[in-house]
Structure 1
Amino acid sequence: MAAIVKSFAISGVDGYLVEVETDTIYGKPSTTIVGLGDTAVKEARERLQASLNCPEFQFPKMKVVINLAPSDIKKSGSHFDLAMAISLLMHSEQLETEQIETFGFIGELSLNSYLRPCSGVLPMVIAARDAGVENIVVPKGNIREASLVTGINVYGFETLQEVCSFLSGETTYEAQESCVESYEEAALLDFDEVQGQDAIIEYIVVAAAGGHNALMIGAPGCGKSMIAKRIPTILPDLSEAEALETTKIYSVAGLLKNRGRLIESRPFRAPHHNASINSLIGGGNNAAPGEISLAHNGVLFLDEIAEFNKKALDSLRQPMEDKKVTVARVKFNNTYPCNFMLVAAMNPCPCGYYGQEKCRCSDYEVLKYRQRISGPIIDRIDIQKYVQPVPFMELSSFTRGSSSVELREQVEAARSFQRQRFAGIDDVHCNAQMTPALVKEYCRLEPEGEKVLKLAFERFEYSARSFHKFLKVARTFADMEESARIRRKDIAAALMARDLEKEQLEMLVV
């Protein structure tokens, strides 16, 4: 009769239960692993034979068959090694233990029977708890990460021999220090270092307060990238649920810098403009998460957005709307969350000095350059502002502007106003996440404001998406002053947030 031991695998950012079934049959000594495992799973047979070739254990001299159930789902990774070894030892009667059904096992075996830490432990332990597993055994290097999950007993060991001694009752487990720590990089950037850009910073604060996408257009060296890199310093802290979800993504991607530490600072991802579609959206042989998922609950900064491949940019359209992306492959697909704030920067023309004497770009070249960003992408960016060069006198004065702490207080006050409004509504934490039904309920206009928006809508034939985005941005402007209603000046400010149409709009709001 086959021995059955519980382990876990990952699909997207979520784990699921895998039963490791081991049996031996008469025949030529060999080891076969079935259940749609990848190369790392298939190679486990060599690691098993080497790790069990020691005085404490003996590898069965029979035909060994190991099945990973469910067998119709593709599995990857080397973390099944420990579960395979335990099930093989139980079947060959080298290990006797009670209540094995209450245990789950995760870990990679070395050739000397040591347990190596592996990636993706956090979502697998969450899956174990949800499946009713009471105890989970992991490598000692993963114990702090596994301990982030409450409601399950976590045991960490260094060798296979220690695990077997514990399961058989020969030794007792000595609890390790597994305190949950938060991981947050030291804040080395501050908005008080930005000089002479108070106008654009005001809109950036509004974007941070409402979670709105933003585009900055300006000449080289005017401070676009400098401002963008400081946006995370004014964003509110992650909630416990957001921190756990963000940490899960980085654990699955193998990018968790400090195992056992919860990510509490919002991610900031800035891919290079030669990034491929797969690197942005996610993909590869294992359908791994891309930059948009790694920026989940944080900021995705696209510097020189006009230099990005047009197809790569257009691939962002659906994820920006759905807040999730499904990476499909022939035999499986993974769904990753991607609720990010898009911040982009670009030059006004190919040379970057449009409107200045040293610009030599023709009108056709300027038009062609700006058309690299498709209309649907522009339509999804709520705030589009020009960034003007800083005058010499302001640079030479070294006068410090508002600090990140001061700006963050404004953002926190507006977010607090929004949290009260959306209390009890799932997956809506800021104005940018409002559904059409919520926009209809919370974005009612005063007659004067409605008149201004109607003139702009009829004159420039905005899309329904743009109409809703104007209302959301206006709602955020009102929240900055804790106004229950959207006033005329809030609508005017929202309309002026799009500098690409600023010249025409100024005539309407005067």
Structure 2
Amino acid sequence: MASVINSFGISGINAYLVKIETDTIYGQPSVSIVGLGDTAVKESKERLEAAVVHTKYEFPKMKIVINLSPCDIKKCGSHFDLGMAIGLLIQSKQIVIEVELDNFAFIGELSLNADLRPCSGILPMVIEAKKLGIKNVIVPKENMEEASLVTGINIFGFRTLNEIIDFLEGTSSYGSIDNLKEEHIVNTKYLVDFSDVQGQNDTIELVMIAAAGGHNILLSGAPGCGKSMIAKRIPTILPAMTEEEALEVTKIYSVSGMLKNRGKLITERPFRAPHHNASTNSLIGGGNNAMPGEISLAHNGVLFLDEIAEFNKRTLDALRQPMEDNIVTVSRVKSTNTYPAKFMLVAAMNPCPCGYYGEKKCKCTDYEVLKYRQKISGPILDRIDIQKNVQGVKFMNLTSSKNGVSSEYIRKKVETARKIQIKRYEKFHGINCNSQMTPDMIKKFCALDQESLQLLQKAYEKYRYSVRTFHKFLKVARTFADIDQSEKILKKHIAKSIMCRELEKEQCNMIVV
């Protein structure tokens, strides 16, 4: 009878159980690994042979068949090495296990010297083990802290294959693990602050609204007016993530192999700023192994697209569906992976090719300006809640000794507004802020009085806004009301939300002219 060892594979950002079945058959000595493994899985037979020999055991001179079940799912990674080695030694009766293997899972890459090396994706694997009722997980020592982020399951970390065998055979004991929650927190100290920004109070107010409600925002202005400076300070005013959000983000970075502080829970919201030459796959996700893209790495955080008009138009248009659905599905011939992509889009651009539209030194024709702005398609612009023309800073503001509004002050207002929203949506799963409201929720929480309706109707009919834009007006107005701690949306909140789409209005007027 073949030996069976528990391990895990990764699909998207979630793990699934993989049974490693090992059997030895009389015949020409060989190693066959079946079950749709990638190159890293196929090459494990060489690592397996060297590791077994270095642990002073004999590599069976028989036909060895290793099956990774389920066999119809593509499997990637080198973390199956450990399970294969344990299964082979058990099947060849070279070790006698004193524990019940059904309660154990094995994850780890083996070196040629039988040392255990760290792997990516440990966190979702341990989470899946807990769901399945597997009580014990054996991982490389370097992954132990990351695995111990999951409570209610026993994590064992080892450095070598020999140590694991001694533990399983009962010849050596293993000390208990102290799972101290506070040690898993990464505290980030920002070197920038909104107090550095001078003369842009109107823009900062809209950025505060965007952060409070999770709204997408586009900043358009001449070079050097402070667009990028403001955008890069947005992380300093974002509210702290909930434990559920932090775990989601940490899972994504673990699967991507980008978890810098192993064993630390990511508690600061991500801020991703890809260059404008980024490919569609790098932004959306994909590649041979369908890894998460920038929009997934920005999950529960900010995706900053500086010089958005310089991005490839097809790449930008690929953002349409993720911006609406908060997920992205990457399909390949043999697999389909779905990644979360709930991000706040922050974009910056120049108003024209030369960057100085409206000033004397601008030589761009209306056609050139219109063509430049049309690099951002209508559907993308329609999905951006707040569009602000950023003006240049006056000399008196630059020379003023007074600091601007601090990030701490803005963050307190943002957190107060978010607390109101979290309480409002506590009965709705997955809804944390105003930008995520569904049409039914908009009807319930964004009721308007007659004056506000008339004002909104005039703007809607004059500029022929879409239904999506109409809903975005209501969502932004709801955030303005939350900042003011007002239970009802007032006429002034609707007026402010209508004024938040300056770029779209300007472009509409240019077309009319």
**Superposition TM-score, scaled by structure 1 size:** 0.98
> 1: distance between equivalents of 2:28 and 2:508?
82
Q: Call closer, same or farther: CA 1:374–1:501 in 2, change over 3 Å.
A: closer
Q: Would you say 1:65 and 2:65 are equivalent positions? A: yes
> 2: distance between equivalents of 1:134 and 1:307?
51
Q: Would you say 1:206 and 2:209 are equivalent positions? A: yes
Aligned to 1:105: 106
Residue-by-residue CA offset, 1:55-96 (whole Å, 9 max, x unaligned): 631111101000000001000000000000000011111111
Aligned to 1:132: 133
Aligned to 2:34: 34
CA contact (8 A) 1:496 1:502 kept: no
Matched AA of 1:163: I
Count of aligned residue pairs for this structure pair = 506
Q: Call closer, same or farther: CA 1:295–1:223 in 2, change over 3 Å.
A: same
Deviation at 1:421, TM superposition (A): 0.8
Please point out which of 211, 221, 224 is paired with 2:227: 224
> 1: distance between equivalents of 2:109 and 2:507?
64
Matched AA of 1:14: N
Aligned to 1:432: 435
Q: Would you say 1:74 and 2:69 are equivalent positions? A: no
Q: Which moved more, 1:33-42 or 1:173-182?
A: 173-182
Aligned to 1:360: 363
Matched AA of 1:41: V
CA contact (8 A) 1:7 1:104 kept: yes
Q: Would you say 1:157 and 2:158 are equivalent positions? A: yes
Aligned to 1:309: 312
Residue-by-residue CA offset, 1:234-287 (whole Å, 9 max, x unaligned): 010010000000000000000000110000000000000011100100000000
Q: Would you say 1:21 and 2:17 are equivalent positions? A: no
Q: Would you say 1:403 and 2:406 are equivalent positions? A: yes
CA contact (8 A) 2:108 2:139 kept: yes
SS at match of 2:206: helix
> 2: distance between equivalents of 1:66 and 1:134?
24
Q: Would you say 1:258 and 2:270 are equivalent positions? A: no
> 2: distance between equivalents of 1:368 and 1:79?
51
Aligned to 2:288: 285
Deviation at 1:419, TM superposition (A): 1.2
Q: Which moved more, 1:313-322 or 1:170-179?
A: 170-179
Please point out which of 475, 483, 492 is paired with 2:486: 483
Deviation at 1:175, TM superposition (A): 3.1
- Runs of 4+ in structure 1 deviating by more than 4 angstroms, as ranges, are 501-506
Matched AA of 1:300: L
Aligned to 2:175: 174
Deviation at 1:505, TM superposition (A): 11
Deviation at 1:424, TM superposition (A): 1.7
Q: Call closer, same or farther: CA 1:504–1:49 in 2, change over 3 Å.
A: closer
CA contact (8 A) 1:144 1:179 kept: no
Aligned to 2:240: 237
> 1: distance between equivalents of 2:499 and 2:306?
23
Aligned to 1:447: 450
> 1: distance between equivalents of 2:87 and 2:463?
69
Aligned to 1:145: 146
> 2: distance between equivalents of 1:43 and 1:301?
39
SS at match of 1:8: strand
> 1: distance between equivalents of 2:142 and 2:507?
61
Q: Which runs of 5+ in 2 are unaligned?
A: none
> 2: distance between equivalents of 1:501 and 1:136?
55
Deviation at 1:54, TM superposition (A): 3.0
Matched AA of 2:476: V
> 2: distance between equivalents of 1:267 and 1:252?
15
CA contact (8 A) 2:303 2:346 kept: yes
Residue-by-residue CA offset, 1:397-453 (whole Å, 9 max, x unaligned): 242111000000110111111111111210100000000110011000011000000
Aligned to 2:347: 344
CA contact (8 A) 1:446 1:485 kept: no
> 2: distance between equivalents of 1:505 and 1:95?
76
> 2: distance between equivalents of 1:501 and 1:44?
56
SS at match of 2:430: coil
Aligned to 1:10: 10
Aligned to 2:87: 87
> 2: distance between equivalents of 1:20 and 1:504?
60
RMSD of aligned alpha carbons: 1.3
Deviation at 1:131, TM superposition (A): 1.1
CA contact (8 A) 1:428 1:434 kept: yes
Matched AA of 1:428: I
Please point out which of 317, 328, 337 is paired with 2:331: 328
Deviation at 1:179, TM superposition (A): 3.5
CA contact (8 A) 1:195 1:398 kept: no
CA contact (8 A) 2:256 2:291 kept: yes
SS at match of 2:305: strand
**Superposition TM-score, scaled by structure 2 size:** 0.97
Residue-by-residue CA offset, 1:97-132 (whole Å, 9 max, x unaligned): 130110000000000000000100000111111111
Q: Which moved more, 1:178-187 or 1:304-313?
A: 178-187
Q: Which moved more, 1:339-348 or 1:494-503?
A: 494-503
Deviation at 1:25, TM superposition (A): 0.4
Quote the sequence identity (%).
63
Matched AA of 2:113: N
Matched AA of 1:94: Q
Q: Which moved more, 1:342-351 or 1:167-176?
A: 167-176
SS at match of 1:60: coil
Matched AA of 1:143: M
CA contact (8 A) 2:155 2:177 kept: no
Deviation at 1:172, TM superposition (A): 0.2
Q: Which runs of 5+ in 1 are unaligned?
A: none
